[in-house]
Amino acid sequence: MTAPELPFHIVIVCTGNTCRSPLAAGALVEALGPERARVRVTSAGTGAREGQPATDAAIAVAAGDGVDIRSHRSRRVTPTLVRDADLVLVMERAHLDPVLALGADAARTHVLSDWPAPGEPGLVVSDPFGGSREAYEETWRRIRRHLERVVPAVHEALRARSA
């Protein structure tokens, strides 16, 4: 009898864990399609206050595309969370050092706009916190665009894991 396959664990990190990372986590789960059952997507923040909901604007922007992040509650990124991850995606370069300092594997930790290579490093995912609805919509568009590259790479990692 074979052991059940553990889910491929992706951790998405931003600062406060109320805008970008919950948006990216929700969008990624949706974009994975049927493979979502084999993937655990979590999000956290380098400076998050525990238990905060996603911002109203983030909830509204995601809902506009049928993604429900209303149940999200913020949490601070921890050593256990990043060490146990198969992939860590951070929203900006400033998040790399704190996440690596917690023990994340540098080979599996990437800026969302850069991964997989060559990425689109010029298409930065700015923090919309406190900004206009348009700022949240632009953040959402950029996240979705980056996930168009990420999802096939995750599917490939799942195939390789099953081989």
- Respond yes or no: is residue 127 known to be catalytic: yes
- Respond yes or no: is residue 19 known to be catalytic: no
Residue of 19, 20, 75, 142 marked active site:
20
- Respond yes or no: is residue 68 known to be catalytic: no
Residue of 36, 38, 40, 127 marked active site:
127
| C-alpha closest to that of 110 among 157, 53, 64, 162 | 157
Residue of 14, 19, 86, 142 marked active site:
14
For the chain, the three-class secondary structure string (H helix, E strand, C coil) is CCCCCCCEEEEEEECCCCCHHHHHHHHHHHHCHHHHHHEEEEEEECCCCCCCECCHHHHHHHHCCCCCCCCCECCECCHHHHHCCCEEEECCHHHHHHHHHCCCCHHHEEEHHHCCCCCCCCCCCCCCCCCCHHHHHHHHHHHHHHHHHHHHHHHHHHHHHHC
- Catalytic annotation, residues: 14, 20, 127
